[in-house]
Structure 1
Amino acid sequence: MEPSYNVGFIYAHPDDETFLSGCLIRQLADQGEKPVLLLATKGDAGKKNGHAAHFTNEALAALREREMERAAAILGLPVVEHLGHPDGKLNQVEESGFVEQVAAFINKYGLKVVFSFPEDGGNFHPDHIAISRMATAAVTSGKCPTVQKLYYSMSDTLRQQGHIPALSIDTKPQWDIKAEALKAHASQILAIERYFGDLSSCPDNRRTESFALAWERGVWWPHKQELSALDDLQ
């Protein structure tokens, strides 16, 4: 059977996909799915570490695109597309056109499931907040009829609002894969190590990739626990 493009991840920067959902992506790929990734920027304003310390924004964007290709190969992502909007300035991009770009990506692959940031961006990063808003608007606009589910990565704000994960992935069994994908984003290694440590082992406080089911076929915040993002698809 030909694998299908059922699941898409819509994030702001290269490395967001591995931080939030690297093991989930790899699991989907191992199950025969063809997960796809849309990034709003190429990460051209990211922290410049090591050999990239003196790169221009344009050179950093090119480097991070290559790093993303390596991470995608590790995670089993056959498709990565970049909108190329200015890093750090997504909240300045004209919204209607931005939503249309996201909707076009979703419709191109006929996605049934979409993952993105929660409304608070997870850490209140303006770019994360902006892409969450665009992905949510596209999914709920009626312009993406194939989408049945929208998941948000869990955040403290969601927990404070009483939301719980519908889907949780234990990263420990696949930590080596996630660590390799993180290492592929070498220009950002200092930020990565601040979050995950030296990557030699799975840190207990970063062990789980968790996602709230924000929307399912027109219903906001359905209360359910799932074993897979593919559960109950029609």
Structure 2
Amino acid sequence: MSYNILFSYAHPDDETFLSACLIHQLAEAGEPAALLLATRGDAGSKNGAFGHLTREQLGELREEEMERAARVLKLGQVTHLGFPDGKLAEVDPGSAVDAIAETVNRLQPSVVFTFPPDGCNYHPDHMAISRLTTEAVVSGRCPSVRQLYYVMSGALHEEGRRPNLVIDTAPLWAMKAEALRCHDSQILAIMRHFGPLETVLDDRRFEAFALAWEQGAMWPEKSEAEARAALRLP
């Protein structure tokens, strides 16, 4: 089955942290998205209830958590590439780009979302999946893809980049909080970022994305209305 939109991230829960409401809105508009995850998240932090798990057990648990979150988000499909968590930057780049391109070409999306080059927080895995996904797309190996979006970050703002698409999470916060809670093994890290989840914090309210590439051109000019229309969002 093909999907018009693909999100390419490093770990289970990245999709919910960064784009839960966009993913849900796409599904509600009749465009359920697909998700590619480079790792199983088996090197992630563990709160007290899960501290006894081995890495293999944590990886299995995080895949199960991802399945639950996918149902909340109304994701159409999730692909796990299974590269080493915490060591994605050490994977042979040719093999990694091959795996990403194979997934993209199987799903045939026209739009791909991923981390910006700085990974939003300079996490090596986040930076690696940005670099590898960008290489797969802009190299011409994924001919179905017409647009590549980056999640907005402080570093992009400092470069003078501005978002082409901004999603207000407040109307859908209950849904996003439910999806975040599905990633229970990471709940302490989630609460450090978002607070107790009962209400959305002002500085975590918006999901924002910048159009980095379109049909061979880097950083094309595009209004938010044009971006929404291309994604079939209201």
Shorter-chain TM band: over 0.9
Distance 1:208 1:43 in 2: 25
**Match status 1:16 vs 2:49:** no
Residues 23-44 of structure 1 show CA distances to partners (whole Å, capped at 9, x for unaligned) of 0000000111120000000000
Tell me, what secondary structure is at the counterpart of 2:224? coil
Counterpart of 2:104 (choices 83, 103, 106) is 106
Unpaired stretches in structure 1, ≥5 consecutive residues: none
Q: What is the 5 A alignment of 1:184-223?
A: 184-223=182-221
Distance 1:140 1:132 in 2: 12
Q: What is the 5 A alignment of 1:8-157?
A: 8-157=6-155
User: Which residue identity lines up with residue 203 of structure 2 in the other structure?
Assistant: N
Contact 1:165 1:225 in 2 (8 A): no
Residues 139-163 of structure 1 show CA distances to partners (whole Å, capped at 9, x for unaligned) of 0111111101000000000000000
Contact 1:167 1:228 in 2 (8 A): no
Contact 1:88 1:127 in 2 (8 A): yes
Aligned-pair identity (%): 58
Distance 2:124 2:140 in 1: 26
Q: 1:195 to 1:108 in 2, by over 3 A?
A: same
User: Which residue identity lines up with residue 148 of structure 1 in the other structure?
Assistant: R
After TM superposition, the score normalised by the length of structure 1 is: 0.96
Tell me, what secondary structure is at the counterpart of 1:81? strand
Q: 1:196 to 1:228 in 2, by over 3 A?
A: farther
Tell me, what secondary structure is at the counterpart of 1:40? strand
Contact 2:97 2:133 in 1 (8 A): yes
RMSD across aligned positions (CA)? 1.3
Relative to structure 2, which stretch is displaced further, 219-228 or 195-204? 219-228
Distance 1:126 1:207 in 2: 25
Q: How far off its partner does 1:228 sit?
A: 6.8
Q: How far off its partner does 1:217 sit?
A: 0.8
**Once superposed, which parts of structure 1, at least 4 consecutive aligned residues long, lie more than 4 Å away?**
none
Q: How far off its partner does 1:231 sit?
A: 3.0
